[in-house]
Structure 1
Amino acid sequence: MTNPLRIDIVSDVMCPWCIIGYRQLSQALDAAGTDYEIRWHPFELNPEMPPEGQNTREHISEKYGSTPEQSEQARKHMQALADDLGFDFQWTEDSRMHNTFNTHQLLHWADLKGRKHDLKLALFTAHFTDQRNLSDDAVLADVAGEIGLDRAEAAAVLDDQRFANDVRSAEHFWQQQGISGVPAIVFDQKHLVTGAQGVDNYTSILSQLAEMKG
């Protein structure tokens, strides 16, 4: 019996391309019937983001120099891709970017419970579809509780920051591997693919990996 294909995904729940890329990959994996194991890893798009977050359009304008028209065009493009993948972006004029250091700490805790994947996907939905405030620890604890994790324990984890050093260490590890943008997907601990590549490209990658395994 062959080992499942290990897929390491470095990402941030603030990144729309991360959920698009994951959905594309998931579709390709399902079609290929590949036996796989996904491991999520932390990356902060905006480690200097203040606790209260920032309006998304304002942030994109400051960070990338995008005009409101370019920002709107990008949103429509991503929405069209997401619609085809069964994911719903619900941006508004009040949509905000958030500091995700606590989000990653909660995900680290969920990993110890065997629920990191479930929480990761729930957080993508909370942020992009439901426009919930992931800067608020109470909201993060609520999301954990909603998928069946212990809400009180989740709140305690965020309150005492017990996994802060673990998250910093993991972030540093991936930075040392040269990861400077997300999504970054590593197949079989050897093959790095960056960005949302599309279902067809992921299908091709999976096929090549299968051939290499023989």
Structure 2
Amino acid sequence: MHIKIWSDIRCPFCYIGKKHFEAALNSFPEKEKITVEWKSFELDPNLKTTTTTDALTHFVDSKGIDRERAKHMFNNVTSMAANTGLDFNLENSIPANSFNAHRLLHFAKQEGLAHKTKEALLQAHLTEGKNIDDHTVLLDLSKSIGLDTFKVKHMLESDDFAYEVRQDEMEARNLGINSVPFFVLDNKYGVSGAQPVEVFKQALQDAWEKHQSKLTIVANDNSCDINGNCN
């Protein structure tokens, strides 16, 4: 069974949702028969990366809300993250465009390292306060997870995987996805948001049962198999 997850590296709920989903998947009896694919989604494609403004100030200015209310919102998310073992540092995170990070994720996907890359990018932005739009930061991150930095450098200096990022986003629009994280299980079940672990467990079970029963053979005769054997 295949699961697609749309998320943005800039989204704190995407990191929390990732941890909740992974906890549910790790306890799922059929987890070895499930594949997970990370899909790109930019919350603010037009964001211009700035290293002179902290995330709290950027949030206040872009949303037009009171600073104290914004702090309260940040603290609530940080507390929620702590319950999953994550140490958020949201106020000091850098307002960075995530497009290049998504391109890196697609590169890592073809190298079989998408899961490690996704985790490293989320941690870099939400916990370590690193600039995920900076090529040097992305190259250092790539090296730490075993990607070929020469290839990554070439990719970042080109427009490679821009098309793949845009295709993911178009697919999300076609499915009516307008917020993240969003989980699509077996192209049939959708789960929106950083749901509790138990919700993901139930969704996995429901999707798996439906996946197992989606083809019922009511007769089996007068056919040929892929080896040319007919009966």
Partner of 2:138: 140
1:174-201 per-residue CA deviation (whole Å, 9 max, x = no partner) reads 2222111111110111111111111121
SS of residue in 1 equivalent to 2:157: helix
Question: What is aligned with 1:167?
Answer: 165
Aligned residue in 1 for 2:85: 86
Q: CA deviation at 1:119?
A: 0.3
Q: Tell me by how many angstroms 1:57 deviates.
A: 1.5
Letter in 1 for 2:138: L
Q: Quick one: which amino acid aligns to residue 32 of structure 1?
A: F
Q: State which drifts further: 148-157 or 57-66.
A: 57-66
TM-score, length-scaled by structure 1: 0.90
CA distance in 2, matches of 1:123, 1:98: 12
Q: Tell me if structure 1 keeps the 8 A contact 2:49–2:95.
A: no
C-alpha separation in 2, matches of 1:85 and 1:34: 23
Aligned to 1:18: 14
**Distance between the aligned counterparts of 1:199 and 1:70, measured in 2?**
28
TM-superposed CA distance for 1:163, in Å, is 1.8
47-56 or 132-141: bigger deviation: 47-56
- Once the two structures are superposed, the pairs formed by residues 194-205 of structure 1 within 5 Å of their partners are 194-205=192-203
* Amino acid across the alignment from 1:7: I
Distance 1:98 1:135 in 2: 6
Matched letter for residue 111 of structure 1: K
Asked if 2 retains the 8 angstrom alpha-carbon contact of 1:52 and 1:135, the reply is: no
Could you report, residue by residue, the CA deviation over 1:143-187 in whole angstroms, capped at 9, with x for unpaired residues?
Answer: 011111111211110001222222222222222221111111101
Q: Is the 8 A contact 1:186 1:192 kept in 2?
A: yes
Q: How far 1:67 sits from its partner (Å)?
A: 2.1
Which shows bigger deviation, 140-149 or 29-38? 29-38
Aligned positions, number: 209
| Fraction of identical pairs, as percent | 33
Larger Rg: 2
Give CA deviations for 1:34-60 in whole Å, capped at 9, x if unaligned: 322110000111101114365322332
Distance 1:15 1:29 in 2: 21
- Which TM-score applies when normalising by structure 2? 0.84
Equivalent position amino acid for 1:33 in 2: P
Q: Which runs of 5+ in 1 are unaligned?
A: none
CA RMSD of aligned residues (A): 1.7
Q: Distance in 2 between matches of 1:202 and 1:166?
A: 27
Instruction: Give 5+ residue unaligned stretches, structure 2.
Output: 214-231
My pick for the range that moved more, 112-121 or 81-90, is: 81-90
**Partner SS for 1:97:** coil
Cα offset for 1:65? 3.3
Where relative contact order (Cα < 8 A, 6+ residues apart) is larger, the structure is 1
